[in-house]
Structure 1
Amino acid sequence: MQTIDLLRDLIAFPTVSADPNLDLIQYCETLLRDVGAQVELIKDPSGQKANLYATIGPLDRPGVLLSGHTDVVPVVGQDWTVPPFEMTERDGLLLGRGCADMKGFVASAMAAALRAATLDLKTPLHLALSYDEEIGCVGVRSLIDMLAAAPIRPRFCIVGEPTSMQVATGHKGKTAARLVATGREGHSALAPSVLNAIHMACDIISFIRDLQEKLAAAGARDPAYDVPYTTLHVGMIEGGTALNIVPNRSEFLFEIRNLIEDDPQQLLAHIRDHAASYVQGLRKNFPQADISIDVTNTYPPLNTDPDSDVVQFVQGLSGHDATLKVAFGTEGGLFSSRLDVPTVVCGPGSMAQGHKPDEYVSVAQLAACDAMMDALLQRLVVGL
């Protein structure tokens, strides 16, 4: 099957992260098994989502892994001019949810795997398709657990997030956390006599903002990133039930996106220490005062040496000599840190088109990815 035909089929599966991806995974499984690939599914506890890991070629040596996620972000509330779960071709562009992020790469990788099955590979091709990447690289972890226990791991990994086919060697890590502030409720006419949990939350947010300013002014820097320092961000806040009730509970969600030089656990400890000191000052008058901070998700940064073998290898395949670092996170940091598999990010399209209405990848970008896959297959036939 051609890449565009595969992409059309993949877009038709509405694999929003909140929904199952099993139909798409089973579609890919059938295609791969029909050509003789060794395929393993790793399902989630519900049985409605799964990772897929496939190998084409010899099983007794490490190969090159192509990794892509199958989930997409929602389309609700977005003003699409085309059906989001039907691929539309228009003026050299292929439109549909996931075309850029990142079913375009998955389609190209699947097409390469089907072609690989007709060749005598000296080095195997591995394919990893995961779920729930969009909510924090959640699903791939069970696949990585499987590979961690395997006797042979891939030699190289290419994560196909959209980079306009440039070779990306790094991205920041991410730690997401929830802070819950507990105060004491009361009538708003007597507000000074009780403890407003929203005010407590905002006081900690002010501390987080000050910490961000210090990192921006004097923290570690990496000019390869659009934002060259570690960032802290509060994204959601809740609290209160009525205007005339002083709220006894408030919570907010925040994240840390860290450079490799900064330890997010140290930053969290700094916030926790400040919160503990702040609460201690309140408990003389309000013994129920409390602040808790729980990490909800974390994944590590990717920081591959630009002079490493994997970078030179993928540069040779893609025809691009330059490297970059990307603002968004990927599963690459997990493959690199958990499995010690040298990893880069390289795929068709741009994240500037991702997560938007009328998301697209150009036909030219998809063709460039197919050309990289052809070059990869030629190398696997000869052997690495």
Structure 2
Amino acid sequence: MSNAVREILTALLAFDTTSRESNLALISWIEDFLARRGIASQRIMDDSGRKANLYARLGPAGAGGVMLSGHTDVVPVDGQNWSVPPFALTEQHERYYGRGSADMKGFLACVLASLDGFLAQPLRMPLHLAFSYDEEVGCLGVRSMVDYLRASAEKPLMCIIGEPTEMRPVYGHKGKIGLRCQVQGHACHSAYAPSGVNAIEYAAKLINRLGEAAQQLKQRQDTRFDPPFSTLQTGVIKGGSALNIVPQDCQFDFEIRYLPDDDVQGVIAEVEQFARQELLPQMQAVALASAIRFLPISQYPGLLTDPRSQFAQWLAQWSGSDEFSTVAFGTEGGLFDEAGIATLICGPGSMDQGHKPDEFIAVEQIERCMAMLANLCQWMQ
């Protein structure tokens, strides 16, 4: 079976599915793979027509069953020093190297390689397959698939997301909100600075206010997570054109990664109120056209599934591990959970290798994932 996984993984890694690129060539390959086994699939396209989710199911008709979910996109290799070709499989030291091998084409290869085993058995419930796009840029693509499943009369009951967890079951992660703040001031010669509105300086005041909010978020802690509190940080800032010009424009991006049961909308509202009631009047007193805008970049909810649930206990049996934990990275899990699909995370590989040059997945992890899928298949009979 490991040879089948290797062949499939070789094919998947050869597709450059960096989030900025189309994933349709890979989707077509999977469609053909499924069709050769008599499995019908459905594309759920994005508005541009360049990307698609792929949904399929096998087994009996009706609602319920288990869904296996994974994303097809990968992060860029730009600026990384790879010693092996990133978009090809290289096998060394019982490891498979290549961009996406751990995050998360290794899981996709295992799922596809396991399908012959599922097809050979009379399943008592359906097996659902969900392959999405643009997870790496904010779980964007999967939302149309969630909408499709939410409206379906044959919605799955449970979902396993195969993000790399070293095959340890994960029941929770934080949510994320990403925002962009655009500050529009008024330019003038720096010799007459009081006649202008310095967009960078007002952006700095907002960033300082965000830092104060970050300290307040630390007051509420949940030791199930690392770090055990919601975090807020500014990651990108751009502004100004020359030292002798009062900058007219500045923008910065910030994010909140929040505990699943934290209400961070109040934090955002407080910062926006500070901008609107305190900063903006000062700016417009000098130049009426001054403005501050907050624009959404990305957002996904947190996940917090009860590790004592029956589903969690079943996953512990299938995976061979009852070491339940949380992870720091986000997934589409919270979106599925909001749609009424109980969701847990368990997949091969480690995020310690994800997003890095010479990304790899250990062969031993592939074998453990195949064992989990075989156990699931036996349970579904």
Q: TM-score, normalised by structure 1?
A: 0.96
Identity among equivalent pairs (%): 46
Note the alpha carbon deviations across 1:267-318, whole angstroms, 9 max, x for none. 2101101111222233333333321112222110001011112211111100
Match of 1:73 in 2: 75
Q: CA RMSD in A?
A: 1.2
CA distance in 1, matches of 2:36, 2:60: 17
**Secondary structure of 1:352's match?**
coil
Equivalent residue runs for 1:13-92 within 5 Å:
13-92=15-94
Match of 2:164 in 1: 162
Aligned positions, number: 378
Q: How far 1:105 moved relative to its partner?
A: 0.5
Equivalent residue runs for 1:250-261 within 5 Å:
250-261=250-261
Q: How far 1:75 moved relative to its partner?
A: 0.5
Match of 1:178 in 2: 180
Match of 1:376 in 2: 376
Equivalent residue runs for 1:201-280 within 5 Å:
201-216=203-218, 218=219, 220-277=220-277, 278-280=279-281
Match of 1:290 in 2: 291
Q: How far 1:48 moved relative to its partner?
A: 2.1
Match of 1:331 in 2: 332
CA contact under 8 A between 1:173 and 1:260: conserved in structure 2? yes
Q: How far 1:222 moved relative to its partner?
A: 1.4
Does residue 360 (structure 1) correspond to residue 360 (structure 2)? The answer is yes
Does residue 299 (structure 1) correspond to residue 300 (structure 2)? The answer is yes
| 1:61 to 1:148, Cα distance in 2 relative to 1, 3 A | closer
Match of 2:155 in 1: 153
Q: How far 1:223 moved relative to its partner?
A: 1.0
Match of 1:312 in 2: 313
**Secondary structure of 1:353's match?**
coil
CA contact under 8 A between 1:122 and 1:380: conserved in structure 2? yes
CA distance in 2, matches of 1:179, 1:114: 50
CA contact under 8 A between 2:185 and 2:247: conserved in structure 1? yes
CA distance in 2, matches of 1:281, 1:188: 19
Note the alpha carbon deviations across 1:150-186, whole angstroms, 9 max, x for none. 0121111000000010111001111111101111111
Q: How far 1:119 moved relative to its partner?
A: 1.9
CA distance in 2, matches of 1:130, 1:311: 24
CA contact under 8 A between 2:184 and 2:291: conserved in structure 1? yes
Amino acid corresponding to residue 289 of structure 2 in structure 1: Q
CA distance in 2, matches of 1:60, 1:152: 5
Unaligned runs of 5+ in 1: none
Does residue 342 (structure 1) correspond to residue 342 (structure 2)? The answer is yes
**Secondary structure of 2:286's match?**
coil
Q: TM-score, normalised by structure 2?
A: 0.97
CA contact under 8 A between 1:3 and 1:107: conserved in structure 2? yes
Amino acid corresponding to residue 309 of structure 2 in structure 1: S
Match of 1:321 in 2: 322
CA distance in 2, matches of 1:310, 1:64: 10
CA distance in 2, matches of 1:61, 1:46: 31
Q: How far 1:380 moved relative to its partner?
A: 1.1
CA distance in 2, matches of 1:32, 1:264: 42
Match of 1:113 in 2: 115
CA distance in 2, matches of 1:313, 1:236: 43
| 1:276 to 1:38, Cα distance in 2 relative to 1, 3 A | same
**Secondary structure of 2:227's match?**
coil
Note the alpha carbon deviations across 1:162-214, whole angstroms, 9 max, x for none. 00101110011111111011111111122233211011101100000111012
Equivalent residue runs for 1:132-151 within 5 Å:
132-151=134-153
CA distance in 2, matches of 1:357, 1:282: 45
CA contact under 8 A between 2:350 and 2:361: conserved in structure 1? yes
Unaligned runs of 5+ in 2: none
Which of 107, 126, 129 is the aligned partner of 1:124?
A: 126
CA contact under 8 A between 1:56 and 1:113: conserved in structure 2? no
Q: How far 1:114 moved relative to its partner?
A: 3.2
CA distance in 2, matches of 1:260, 1:78: 33
CA distance in 2, matches of 1:5, 1:168: 28
CA contact under 8 A between 1:37 and 1:117: conserved in structure 2? no
Q: How far 1:71 moved relative to its partner?
A: 0.2
